[in-house]
């Protein structure tokens, strides 16, 4: 049995919950997860689509806001902000006791803005000002258009969760965007925080599919290895960049590490162990955000050991072998980023349609 408190205390990894429902806030379920060792929470448009569409816990607030004359989209953001504020209050003691390292709750800007730098900046600034909490992370996609927005928000002293990262190259650009933003700030940097969310299982699914298409013995032998290898090499980059002279100058001014966060860590292939993307990516100064079922599985039968940098040479060999078969991991990352942006847009649009139908039913 794996203990989440030990995961943080002995191995330096913060377990976060990748889910949020209003019932969990009201029933004490979220507080129970905190008691078990959860140290933060992430959300996204898909999570809110499922939570709001599948529950009647939002009906009273929804009905009241509609009757007051708010648009469906305005109501959506009110529902989201109520949930986020409730979660922020529950996680606040973690934030305070960890001196601002953990206890964060993440909320994403409108996913339709992922390719629009200026609109992302405006939306992130407005959302941060409206919720106004020291343990809030605004999630900005790590798209090419998102990079200047990340730098701008950091330069304004706002804490950012950079999401939808699928390549080591883009991760390097995100680290640079973070440090550039910090360098634009006058004075102490200790109140600014950031994580960089590296998506794991989606890479595995895409690469495994391509390995299946090749169908050779060597290709099939690489299945289930790419995502972990890429995460491990992202951690190697993290260690290098956050020991550089550039970083040490920022650290002297109080800057916090931009920790790598492992996201999309539930296995999609039932043939793989359900905790493989936790067990194999454990190490200091990292975060793993897990759906509740994966968290429960890890507590039940996960393995506690420092693994994220235990076999970096092997990780290099895996990626070299994959690319040697003609699989372009840069092209894979571009495809997954595009699909991720579109998936969040679809979830957002579907939820607005559902809410519109609900609003119309109230006026009949």
Report CA torsion sign: 90, 95, 97, 102: positive
pLDDT bin (cut points 50, 70, 90) of residue 363 is: low
Q: Which residues pair with 199 in a beta bridge?
A: 263
Q: What is the pLDDT of residues 42-84, one digit of tens each?
A: 999 899 988 988 889 999 999 999 999 999 999 999 999 999 9
What's the rounded Cα separation, in Å, for the pair 350 and 353? 5
What's the rounded Cα separation, in Å, for the pair 206 and 204? 6
Q: Which helix (H) or strand (E) holds 161?
A: strand 160-165
pLDDT value, residue 358 = 82
Buried b (16+ CB within 10 A) or exposed e, 11-43: bebbbbbbbbbbebbeeeebeebbeebbbbbbb
Q: What token pair was written down for 313?
A: 């040479």
- CA 51 to the chain's CA centroid: 18
Positions marked catalytic: 139
pLDDT value, residue 360 = 85
pLDDT value, residue 53 = 85
Q: What is the pLDDT of residues 168-222, one digit of tens each?
A: 999 999 999 999 999 999 999 999 999 999 999 999 999 999 999 999 999 999 9
Nearest residue to 109 via CA among 161, 55, 148 = 161
Q: What token pair was written down for 327?
A: 């699989």
Plot region of 68 (φ>0 → left; ψ -120 to 50 → alpha; else → beta): alpha
The domains of the chain, with CATH numbers, are: 4-201+229-304+333-362 (3.20.20.70)
Q: Radius of gyration of the chain from Cα atoms? A: 20
Buried b (16+ CB within 10 A) or exposed e, 110-121: bbebbebbebbb
- CA 210 to the chain's CA centroid: 26
Task: Give the residue-averaged pLDDT of 249-275.
Answer: 97
pLDDT bin (cut points 50, 70, 90) of residue 249 is: very high
Q: How far apart are the first and last CA of the chain?
A: 53
Average of per-residue pLDDT values in the chain: 96
φ, ψ of residue 286 to 5 degrees: the values are -125, 165
Residue whose token pair is 């998506």: 199
Q: What is the pLDDT of residues 99-128, one digit of tens each?
A: 999 999 999 999 999 999 999 999 999 999
């Amino acid at each position: 049995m794996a203990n989440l408190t030990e995961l943080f205390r002995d191995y330096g990894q913060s377990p976060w919950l990748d889910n949020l429902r209003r019932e969990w806030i009201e029933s004490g379920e979220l507080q129970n997860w905190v008691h078990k060792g959860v140290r933060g929470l992430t959300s996204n448009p898909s999570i809110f689509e499922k939570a709001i569409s599948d529950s009647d816990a939002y009906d009273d607030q929804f009905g009241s806001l509609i009757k007051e004359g708010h648009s469906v989209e305005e109501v959506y953001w009110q529902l989201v902000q109520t949930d986020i504020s409730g979660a922020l209050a529950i996680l606040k003691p973690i934030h305070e006791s960890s001196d601002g390292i953990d206890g964060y709750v993440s909320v994403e800007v409108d996913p339709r803005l992922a390719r629009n730098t200026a609109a992302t900046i405006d939306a992130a600034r407005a959302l941060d000002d409206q919720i106004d909490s020291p343990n809030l992370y605004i999630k900005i996609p790590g798209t090419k258009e998102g990079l200047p927005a990340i730098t701008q928000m950091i330069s304004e002293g706002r804490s950012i969760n950079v999401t939808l990262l699928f390549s080591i190259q883009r991760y390097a650009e995100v680290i640079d965007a973070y440090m550039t933003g910090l360098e634009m700030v006058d004075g102490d940097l200790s109140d600014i925080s950031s994580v960089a969310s590296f998506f794991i299982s989606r890479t595995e699914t895409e690469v495994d599919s391509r390995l299946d298409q090749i169908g050779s013995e060597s290709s099939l032998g690489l299945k289930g290895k790419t995502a972990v290898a890429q995460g491990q090499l992202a951690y190697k980059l993290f260690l290098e960049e956050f020991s550089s002279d550039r970083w040490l100058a920022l650290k002297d001014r109080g800057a916090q590490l931009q920790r790598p966060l492992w996201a999309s860590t539930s296995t999609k292939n039932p043939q793989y162990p359900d905790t493989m993307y936790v067990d194999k990516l454990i190490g200091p100064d990292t975060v793993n955000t897990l759906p509740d079922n994966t968290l429960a599985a890890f507590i039940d039968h996960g393995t506690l050991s420092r693994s994220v940098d235990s076999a970096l040479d092997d990780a290099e060999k895996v990626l070299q072998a994959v690319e040697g078969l003609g699989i372009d991991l840069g092209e894979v990352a571009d495809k997954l980023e595009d699909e991720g942006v579109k998936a969040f847009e679809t979830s957002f649009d579907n939820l607005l349609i559902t809410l519109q139908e609900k609003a119309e039913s109230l006026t009949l």
